[in-house]
Amino acid sequence: MKIEVLYPEVCCLYGDKSNADYLKKCLPECEMVYTSLTDEPRFAFEPVDLIYLCSMSERSQELVLERLKNYKNVLRLLIDEQKCVILAVGNAMELFGQYIQKEDGEKIEALGITDTYAVRQKPDRFNSLGILSMGDMTLVGYTTRFSHSYGLSKEDALFKVVRGSGINPDTDLEGVRKGRFFATYTVGPLLISNPDFTRFILDEMGAPEATVAFEKEAREAYEKRLAGIRAAKELLQ
């Protein structure tokens, strides 16, 4: 198996890079490819099993978009034909939408693969602890960002919010799913905090035989975090 981590020199906020390290623990025989801003992405010329992209600064978003626009059609094909799993967390989700609107109203064209669009509100930062659901699965995490996203339909939502906030304050929908493309504002880091979702991603990658690394410890930490978020919410009511 092959996992490609895109632009780790700028996509490096909130500990989200450790999701890739965790997947390596789950799949010790897999090849990890770390693609820098000056490299041609591996997904452009050979098969990969998972592409991972995580949180970055707003300036870095614009740099990454400059690079990825050259591969927009390839990414669209990979998503439409479900050739591989793509996982985008934090504000990496915004890159795949229609545009990112800056504070002065200027719109930065994004990849145009999903129907969503983002509106920045810097210097106002939005933080929220969250409990999310996906089918029978319950996830924990938090968001920390300078923007909100809009235009998400119920059919395309990855999660439903149980506690916390969706991709904007007026919705209980969070994240985008399109085939094997999964994107969410949730950081935490997502996979280490949610062993059931890690299991789901491994299965989507075609690795049902892989074990969730440190599963006992991960589940104990998950249960404590879930209880802590529930308790914090009760205290605020």
Q: Which residues of the chain have pLDDT under 50?
A: 235-237
Given this model, what pLDDT does residue 188 score? 83
Domain boundaries, given as residue ranges, for the chain: 2-236
Given this model, what pLDDT does residue 232 score? 77
The number of residues in the chain equals 237
Given this model, what pLDDT does residue 236 score? 44
- Among residues 164, 175, 169, the alpha carbon closest in space to that of 140 is found at 164
User: Helix crossing, 195-204 with 18-26: angle to 10°?
Assistant: 70
Given this model, what pLDDT does residue 237 score? 40
Which pair of structure tokens corresponds to residue 121?
């509100």
CA distance 24 to 20: 6
Under CATH, which number does the domain 2-236 receive?
A: 3.40.50.880
Q: Is the peptide bond before 41 cis (omega within 30 degrees of 0)?
A: no
Given this model, what pLDDT does residue 234 score? 54
178: left (phi over 0), alpha (psi -120 to 50) or beta: beta
The pTM (predicted TM-score) of the whole model is 0.96
Is residue 57 within 8 A of residue 95, CB to CB? The reply is no
Which pair of structure tokens corresponds to residue 161?
């919010």
